[in-house]
Chains A and B, each alone.
Chain A
């Protein structure tokens, strides 16, 4: 169950990117998850729900794009609100 650590790192990278452009809120976080990445999407979602509150992304949906036959695991894009 290393999904929590991976998700923590995804959320902090997303918040960091949002802050850099001066965003006031994150609307969505999108991850690309290969079917061979060795992570369970359910566990990623569970970790996200547990870790996101109190951050810029509080309330924002997590979008998980499954990629077949790939071991990719990346924070793909973040949708933010600018003031």
Chain B
């Protein structure tokens, strides 16, 4: 009997990374900008989506994929006149994976969309590790969660392109130090853009919509460039 060492060096996220790359290519081809929304449970992802879909109705065609462990409550909450809403129930899986997105996208007419917003499973840990093929990652921090959330969950915040401070209307009432929250977010994600808003009062929503419009324009411009047009 002899012992032998086999060198393997195989990425354990390789399958997801490959599918994410295929998704990204498909989104680019269809000129759809894709936003992956991450937060802990109850930070206001669905409320943000409700208001966004309602305010942008008629302007942008927006598809939505919502992920939860169970129930289709979120999909039922979202009355989307701008495009399809697809609910993914993951069972016990704590995050969305690229192949779940690929299957959901098959049920949509991608070419008809300007934007696709993916509401990930409420969880600040696992979803951060799984690329879905998105063009933009948005991580929420709500006023009610405590200013130090970005320091406690640095991996999720580090991957953010935008940090959205949600429930901003409550900050004063509950003594949340917004400046401190912002400093903590910037420590975890120095490159990320910081926006403060309230989906309930509408405060700060214009800057968020401008961000989405900008993203949409970027994707369209990129496609024109690729077509040589």
B8–A76 CB distance below 8 A: yes
The answer to the question of B94 belonging to the interface, with a C-beta cut-off of 8 Å to chain A, is yes
Given A2-B93, A6-B12, A10-B12; A79-B4 close (CB under 8 Å): yes
Number of A-B contacts defined by CB within 8 Å: 76
Query: Which B residues lie within 8 Å of A13 (CB)?
Result: 8, 10
CA A13 – CA B6 in complex, angstroms? 12
B12–A74 CB distance below 8 A: yes
Q: Give the number of residues in A that approach B within 8 Å (Cβ atoms).
A: 31
Chain B residues 1 to 52 lying within 8 A of chain A, measured CB to CB, are: 1-13, 15
A17–B12 CB distance below 8 A: no
CA A37 – CA B155 in complex, angstroms? 8
User: B156 — nearest CB in chain A belongs to which residue?
Assistant: A38
CA A9 – CA B97 in complex, angstroms? 15
User: B125 — nearest CB in chain A belongs to which residue?
Assistant: A38
Could you show 9 A-B contacts with beta carbons less than 8 Å apart? A21-B6, A38-B128, A73-B13, A74-B8, A77-B5, A77-B6, A77-B9, A78-B6, A82-B4
Q: State the B residues within 8 Å of A (CB).
A: 1-13, 15, 93-95, 125-126, 128-130, 155, 158
The 5 closest A-B pairs by CB, nearest first: A38-B129, A6-B12, A2-B126, A78-B6, A38-B155
Q: State the A residues within 8 Å of B (CB).
A: 1-2, 5-6, 9-10, 13-14, 17-18, 21, 23-24, 27, 31, 36-39, 72-83
